[in-house]
Amino acid sequence: MTGTWHRSRPVVWLIASLLAIGLWQVWEGSWMYAKAGLAQLLLQRAWTRSLEGEAMPKPWPWADTWPIARLRMPRLSVDLIVLAGAHGRTLAFGPGHVGSSALPGQTGTMMLAGHRDTHFQFLQELQPDDRLEIVGMDGTTRRYRVTERQVMDSQRDSIATSDERAELILVTCFPFDAITTGGPLRFVVRADAIPQADRS
């Protein structure tokens, strides 16, 4: 009996180790989605404060970003708070505004970036003529029509922008189902502003 236990002990340890590793992996994956969801709740509160006139309201005390817009896509029930800055630490909590691009309400190209497996996962479902909405900090809603979707190589291609044309560009990594991160491919959605008279 004792000999049998000694022979089976390595198997028990192996099973226990594999179970622990599996649970840890599930926790890591779940935590990313939970963090993104919780952050959006805190960002909604900060967004409300910004609409009430508070300048650069931090969603939590140690945050180095703040809400600058709201991105909505009614057909897919998308409603996201857009953050200042498109850095890795910012994109963990929501889509980020590329600082060199136009802000909501300004003339020119506004560019937003987001992670393909959380906030910008919906980009793969966008179709030409879909409508997007950007709500600025002044409460004004600006509407856009999707005109183009393309895959670009960040090592060789550049995204054309304009200082005069009112447009919105959404960027995320590609492919959407990639197992590893950090590849050079980007999925780019371009949308033109809809003039007030054409909105219906």
Is the pLDDT at 6 greater than 70, yes or no? no
Which residues are CB-neighbours of 179 under 8 A, at least 6 positions away? none
Please state, in angstroms and rounded to a whole number, the distance separating the CA atoms of residues 120 and 86: 13
Most confident of 4-8, 19-23, 97-101, 178-182: 97-101
Is the pLDDT at 153 greater than 70, yes or no? yes
Mean pLDDT of 180-184: 81
Mean pLDDT of 71-99: 93
Please state, in angstroms and rounded to a whole number, the distance separating the CA atoms of residues 51 and 195: 24
Question: Which tens digit of pLDDT belongs to each residue from 116-145?
Answer: 988 999 999 999 999 999 999 999 999 999
Please state, in angstroms and rounded to a whole number, the distance separating the CA atoms of residues 160 and 188: 11
Mean pLDDT (the chain, rounded): 86
Residues in the chain, total: 200
Nearest Cα to 113, choosing from 12, 52, 188?
188
92 backbone dihedrals φ, ψ, rounded to 5°: -65, -25
CATH class for the domain made up of 10-198: mainly beta
pLDDT band at 183 (very low <50, low <70, confident <90, very high): confident
pTM listed for this prediction: 0.80
- pLDDT above 90 covers what percent of the chain? 54
- List the chain domain ranges: 10-198
pLDDT on residue 36: 64
What are the structure tokens assigned to 122, written together?
A: 């919906």
Question: Which tens digit of pLDDT belongs to each residue from 167-177?
Answer: 999 999 999 88
**What letters, b where the CB count within 10 A reaches 16 and e where it falls short, cover 1-39?**
eeeeeeeeeeeeeeeeeeeeeeeeeeeeeeeeeeebeeb
pLDDT on residue 164: 86
Contact 113, 172 (CB under 8 A): yes
Please state, in angstroms and rounded to a whole number, the distance separating the CA atoms of residues 65 and 49: 14
- Which regions of 47-166 does DSSP assign to beta strands (E)? 67-73, 78-84, 96-97, 109-113, 131-136, 141-153
